[in-house]
Structure 1
Amino acid sequence: MRIGLNLLHMHDGIGGVWNYVENLVSALGHLDKQNTYIVFVSRQSQCLVPDQKNFQKVLIRINPLKAGHRILFENTILHYYGWKYRLDCFHWFANMLSPFLIIPGLVTIYDLLPLRNPGSYSRIKHLYLKIVLNITAKKAKSILPISNTTGLDIIQILKPKTDKLYVLPIIINDTFKPSQKGEIKKFKNRYKLPDNFWLYVANFYPHKNHIRLINAYSDLKKQGGNPWPLVLRGDSGPDTGTTKALIKAEVKKLNLDKDVIYLPRLAYHELPLLYSGASALIFPSLFEGCGIPVIEAMACGCPVAASDIKVVKEFAEEAAFFFNGKSIGNICDAMAKLQSSTRLREKLTNKGISRSRFFTGERVVEKLLSAYKGSVS
């Protein structure tokens, strides 16, 4: 088959989506030598194309940050490219398909946040995304949610025409494993991190629930819990700058400036060192398509306390300590229990490493190849 991959929306500021797509495309390059892949990329995403004979890169001079220009291109000229390269099917990775697509289309859907939590968007953007998601559900030959939870949302809310849903979870590559102590020490010295610290890896969106976390941390400190410093690793941009400003204001109001550390953007190869160096991951997010940092942390031997939302429970199973993310008291109690119990942290570490081994490239690529075949049959 000749399979098109549309990576024009990709840029390194989109957080976990970048990791998800990078690992999936890399696994395709490693495991599938038979099909031919035509990959449409911008300068920002061209690094994602595997250096394999059956992968052909088509560089489009378009800025993925200018969504209007990209969407116009995808709905016009990209269709010509699909015909020119004689594609059998076309995989889109940005929650949407063009309504004008003639080639059998597959779409990766990460979550239905615009429909589950419309308040996160402006009224115009919410209306646009609602229309696009409904068109996509009717247009797609196969839909590729990244979790069973998202798959169920798609069936219940979008009512797609196709019954071909293939759940493709995150792939955890071999670099995510417990790091050597010497390397962890160098990493901590480089970023001036303390010996013990809480870690939260999440961009600064409202549903990531930083404000409740900051208040829970403050309560723990008031109770004499002597909490480890809290390290926040997340990007801010046009959609997140306001939320980050609110978080910083809350930190200042609660006199936690010396307790909260903001890490700059890290290179991808540094993430395993960050997780390995953390004493525990706290993950209070209220909505996720997957919860990638939870799986990455577990793979690196970092114990996890997480919000008890369905999708995180789906992926972590018994390998995380769960709490109600809407309750500041519950978050505080979870942090207190995890910090005070070495035995609990060791138990979660062992279970987490074992659970993370489920997310292999072989499992996911096998399903994806079935989806490609199914879309043209």
Structure 2
Amino acid sequence: MKKIGILAFGDKYGGGVYQYTQSIIDALKEDKTNKYIIFCSSNDDRFDSYGLEVRKIDKPRSSLFVKIVRAFQLFLFIQRPWFFTKEELDKFSDIDIFLSPAISPYPHFYMNKIFVFTLHDMQERYYPKFFSKYERLIRWLNNRALARSAAKIICESNFVKNDIVKFLRINEDKISVIQSPPPENFLNYKFEAEQFKKIKKKYGLPEKFIFYPAQCWFHKNHIKLVEAFKIVSEKYDDVYLILTGSQQNNYNNLIARIDELGLQTKIKHLGYIDYEDLPYLYKMSQFLVMPTLFESVSIPIYEAFTLEVAVCSSNVTALPEQVGNAGLIFDPNSINDIAEKMMAYLSNEELRKIKARLGFERVRGFNHEEYKKKLIGVLQSV
């Protein structure tokens, strides 16, 4: 029996990796062929009831000197645990294989341990303008060092697999494409009638709204969405746009554009909302809109499919592969195309029902048991 260390250091405000990590642990928690140890920060209690060993540790802050040395370690493939405290070494040393859902070298790369990691996307190769020079350097160092040092690489689409082969020159046999289902609580979700009223009051939700849950990163394309919604709102005055997600680097630009378009009363940005409330917002919405410019796989699309909510999505990267015929797709750079597809849904309730059903059929057999088998297969191959 191997000891598998699952690294769950992701921040809930940091995007989809947080949910992705939870899906992995949901899938593996019942496996008895390995012993799983979860590593997370000291203030994270979400895995305390999972029946797995949880080791809590807060990553020490690194000085500038340490950051520079570790950057050179990545560049030169020097896998040594320099600067690790005794507590870190004690907590990590007995692990046979690390499973890292995030693109991070800590602690597995530096400790020269066997590891499997997920490379979610190589967006910086397509949209360098969305990243500072420092961010592009860090992504290059991490992707290069981890891809070459890992025993196996997991990604969620053939699009990303092709990028890994193309940009990092990794043999495709080292890469496994495994799509992640939504976290377990979304599958077979049981809604409570009274809760709809409470959630609606809690967030001041209107009767009819389009829903977009996403962090305010540049590539999430909020600006084009609100410009398209301006066209929609001129024809459908009773429809609103509800946005959720943490206020990242494009938030101020988004609010300014909403003000310029005079949509302050038609668009609400709720910020980060309680995760247990999220299914109700999906279900109360007319449909999910996903105007992103870049995505390996969109977790909100799978969440919407699981809850039988219609999806309206951009046609970029791996999204057509993910959506298939179960949604309407558009060019995310065309305001008119985004607006046209949204209005196609608003004008045709039957179309929304048909697409919602197709989406549900698409994920009906997409469960954690099957996901577990694929993950264990990768770990056994190591």
TM-score normalized by the length of structure 2: 0.87
Cα deviation, residue 347, structure 1:
0.6
Structure 1 residue 43: deviation in Å?
1.7
1:19 is aligned with what amino acid? Q
Letter aligned with residue 128 of structure 2: P
Whether the aligned pair in 2 keeps the contact of 1:89 and 1:105 (CA below 8 Å) is yes
Once the 2 structures are TM-superposed, how far is the Cα of residue 171 of structure 1 from its aligned partner? 1.9
| 1:361 alignment partner in structure 2 | 368
SS at match of 2:262: coil
Q: Higher mean Cα deviation, 269-278 or 176-185? A: 176-185
Could you say which residue in structure 1 is the equivalent of 2:75? none
| Conserved 8 A contact 1:63-1:70 | no
Q: Per-residue displacement from partner, 1:23-50 (whole Å, max 9, x unpaired)? A: 2112211x30231123222124453365
Is 1:276 matched with 2:279?
Answer: no
The correspondence for 2:263, drawn from 229, 237, 256, is: 256
1:171 to 2:178 alignment: no
Tell me which amino acid in the other structure corresponds to 1:367: K
Q: 1:220 to 1:51 in 2, by over 3 A?
A: closer
- The answer on 1:147 being equivalent to 2:157 is yes
Are residue 323 (structure 1) and residue 330 (structure 2) matched? yes
Q: What's the secondary structure of 2:174's corresponding residue?
A: coil
Worse overlay, 68-77 or 143-152: 68-77
Equivalent in the alignment of 2:242: 231
Change (3 A) 1:291 1:174: same
* Counterparts in 2 of 1:51 and 1:178: CA distance versus 1, 3 Å: closer
Shift of 1:83: 6.7
1:13 aligns with 2:8: no
Contact 2:161 2:172 in 1 (8 A): no
SS of the aligned residue for 2:216 comes to: coil
* Aligned counterpart, 1:285: 292
Q: Is contact 2:312-2:328 (8 Å) kept? A: yes
Distance 2:62 2:358 in 1: 39
Tell me if the contact between 1:308 and 1:323 (Cα under 8 Å) persists in the aligned partners.
yes
SS class of match (2:176): coil
In structure 2, the residue matched to 1:160 is 170
Alignment correspondent of 2:96: 88
Superposition map of 1:124-143 within 5 A: 124-143=134-153
Inter-CA distance 161–312: structure 2 relative to 1 (3 Å threshold):
closer
1:210 aligns with 2:222: yes
Q: 1:305 to 1:102 in 2, by over 3 A?
A: same
Aligned partner of 2:23 in structure 1 is 23
Runs of at least 5 residues in structure 1 that lack an aligned partner in the other structure: none
Contact 2:80 2:110 in 1 (8 A): no
Native 8 Å contact 1:320 1:352 kept in 2: yes
- 1:262 and 1:310, CA in 2 relative to 1: closer, same or farther beyond 3 A? same
Return the letter of the residue paired with 1:288.
Answer: E
Q: Secondary structure at the match of 2:318?
A: helix
How far, CA to CA, are the matches of 2:195 and 2:63 in structure 1?
A: 39
Q: How does 1:364-375 map to 2 (within 5 A)?
A: 364-375=371-382
CA-based RMSD: 2.7
Q: Which runs of 5+ in 2 are unaligned?
A: 71-78
1:68 deviates by: 9.9
Q: Answer whether contact 2:28 2:372 (CA < 8 A) is retained.
A: yes
Query: C-alpha offsets along residues 239-275 of structure 1, whole Å, 9 cap, x if unaligned?
Result: x24x111111111111101100111422221111111
Assess if the C-alpha contact under 8 Å between 1:203 and 1:234 holds in 2. Answer: yes
Question: 2:179 is aligned with what amino acid?
Answer: P
CA contact (8 A) 2:233 2:239 kept: no
Q: How does 1:38-49 map to 2 (within 5 A)?
A: 38-48=37-47
CA shift in 2, pair 1:38/1:74, >3 Å: farther
**Which amino acid is 1:7 matched to?**
A
Separation of aligned partners in 1, 2:63 and 2:375:
29
Check whether the contact 2:186–2:303 (CA below 8 A) recurs between aligned residues: no
- Structure 1's 46 and 63: CA in aligned 2 closer, same or farther, altered over 3 A? farther
Q: What is the percent sequence identity of the aligned residues?
A: 25
1:197 aligns with 2:204: no
Q: Residue type matched to 1:207 in 2? A: H
Once the two structures are overlaid, the 10-residue window that deviates more, 171-180 or 147-156, is 171-180
Distance 2:66 2:242 in 1: 37
Supply the AA of the counterpart residue of 1:216. A
Distance 1:58 1:155 in 2: 35
**For residue 203 of structure 1, what is the amino acid of its counterpart?**
Q
Q: Is the 8 A contact 2:151 2:174 kept in 1?
A: yes
Residues 106 and 142 in structure 1, CA contact (< 8 A), matched pair in contact too: yes
Aligned residues: 365
Answer whether contact 2:120 2:160 (CA < 8 A) is retained: yes
Aligned mates of 2:186, 2:63 — CA distance in 1? 32
- In structure 2, the CA distance between the partners of 1:74 and 1:148, relative to structure 1 (3 Å rule), is farther
Q: Does 1:58 align with 2:55?
A: yes
User: CA deviation digits over 1:306-356, x for unaligned, max 9?
Assistant: 101232222222111111111001001011111001111111111111112
